[in-house]
Amino acid sequence: MFHLDLEKEGNVVTIDFVENDTQLGAKWAKALRDEIDKGIELPQPDRLYNLNTLWSEQSIITRINRCIDKVNSHKHFIDFKIDGSTMTQEDSNNLHHAFELMRGENDVPNEFYLEAPQDVKEAIEEYNVLIHRWEDLVIREPDGTRTNRPSAGRIVVHIKDRPMYEMVDGDWDCYTIESDPGAVCINYCHKGKPILDIIKDDDDVVGEDNIRPQHRYSADFHIRWAHGIGKGDKWKPRFDEWWQRNHNFMRNLGFERDDPRCAFGYGVVGHLVNSPVVEKARIINSSKILGVRYS
C-alpha cells in the first residue's frame, strides 16, 4: 500500500492507494517503490489542481506571463503573452506548443533548454505546469465551450530525476476513457501530446512530430476525482467525428483507432483504498504534497 502525505492548514493528511493487478500496474508500483527507497524528491509540491482556493484564472495568467518574461530575458523565444484576465483553449495550445519547442525531450533536452541558466529552466518547467493548471480549472464541453463548473480536481506527483521505461505490448491494456473517481494514473512523461488531449483541445498547432501516444512510463502518477471523459455518451460523437475526419492522416502517421498502442484515455494503474468522495472531503484545501511512502 502507498501513502500520499499532504499539508493541510498546518496538519498532515494522508491518502492511501494501491496498485491494480495488471501488467503495467505492477511495473509502475515497482518503479515507485524503487524511487521511494532511493529517497524521493518532489520538485513541484503545489500540483494540487482545483482542491484549494489558492489559484484563479487571473493568478495563473499572471504567472504564465512572468515565466514568459523570464525566458525572453535570457533569449527571446516566445512571441506572445496573454492579455487580460482570461485565456482561451487556442491560447493554451499555442503556449504548449512553445513549451515543446523550448524543452525538448525530458531525457534529451534541446539546445535552448541546455544552455539556459537554472532560473530559466525552472521558469520553463513552471510555465508547463501552469498551462495544465489552467486546463484543469473548469469542465469543458465537447464543442470546446468552457463552462463555469469547476473540474473535480486531481493531484499530480512528479519525482525528480526518475527514470523512464519503454512500454511493451500488454502495458496499454489499462488505458480507458471510462475511469472511475479515485483512479491512480501514470503521468504522460515524454515530449509530445496524447491523442485524447489533441481531440479535447481541438489542437491544430500541435504538429505531426508531437502527436505521440504514450510509449514510456515512470514512477510519476496522478490521482483523479473526475469520471473518465468517456463515461456516458456526451463525448462519443466528438471522438467519432474526429477519427473519421482524420482517419487517413492518422493512418499515414501509423495510428489506427482500435490499436491499443494509441494509448487513448488514461493509463489507470491503481486506485484509492477508501471512498474518493470521503477522501476528497478530508483533503480539500490542502496546499502542498509532502511525500509518498509505502508499507
In a domain, 62, yes or no: yes
- 97 and 166 housed in the same domain: no
In a domain, 285, yes or no: yes
Q: What is the DSSP string of 95-139?
A: HHHHHHHHHB-SSSB-HHHHHS-HHHHHHHHHHHHHHHHHHTSEE
pLDDT the model gives residue 191: 87
In a domain, 141, yes or no: no
In a domain, 175, yes or no: yes
What confidence tens digit (pLDDT) does each residue in 189-202 have? Answer: 998 999 999 999 99
In a domain, 145, yes or no: no
For the question of whether the overall pTM of this predicted structure is more than 0.85, the answer is: yes
What confidence tens digit (pLDDT) does each residue in 64-122 have? Answer: 999 999 999 999 999 989 998 999 999 999 999 999 889 887 778 889 999 999 999 99
In a domain, 276, yes or no: yes
Under 8 Å between Cβ of 178 and 128: no
58 burial type by CB count under 10 A (0-12 exposed, 13-18 middle, 19+ buried): exposed
- 120 and 19 housed in the same domain: no
pLDDT the model gives residue 14: 98
- 73 and 175 housed in the same domain: no
List the domain range (segments joined by +) for residue 174.
2-51+151-294
- 176 and 259 housed in the same domain: yes
Give the pLDDT band of residue 24 (cuts 50, 70, 90).
very high
Residue given cell 491560447 in the structure block: 91
The span from the CA of 149 to the CA of 289, in Å, is 25
**40 forms bridges with which residues in the sheet?**
none
- 40 and 60 housed in the same domain: no
Give the pLDDT band of residue 26 (cuts 50, 70, 90).
very high
pLDDT the model gives residue 108: 80
- 78 and 119 housed in the same domain: yes
- 164 and 267 housed in the same domain: yes
Percentage of the chain lying above the pLDDT 70 cut: 100
- 41 and 64 housed in the same domain: no
Mean pLDDT of the region 261-283: 97
Helix (H, G, I), strand (E, B) or coil at 82: coil
- 225 and 102 housed in the same domain: no
Mean pLDDT of the region 145-153: 93
- 127 and 7 housed in the same domain: no
Q: Which cell is 202 given?
A: 481541438
- 37 and 66 housed in the same domain: no
- 162 and 248 housed in the same domain: yes
CATH of the domain at 178: 2.40.100
In a domain, 146, yes or no: no
CA-closest candidate to residue 272, choices 151, 136, 154, 132: 154
pLDDT for 255 beyond 80: yes
Of the residues 90, 107, 136, which one is the last residue of a structural domain?
Answer: 136
Residue 292, phi then psi, degrees to nearest 5? -130, 135
Of the residues 136, 161, 176, which one is the last residue of a structural domain?
Answer: 136
Split into its structural domains, the chain has a count of: 2
Mean pLDDT of the region 228-243: 92
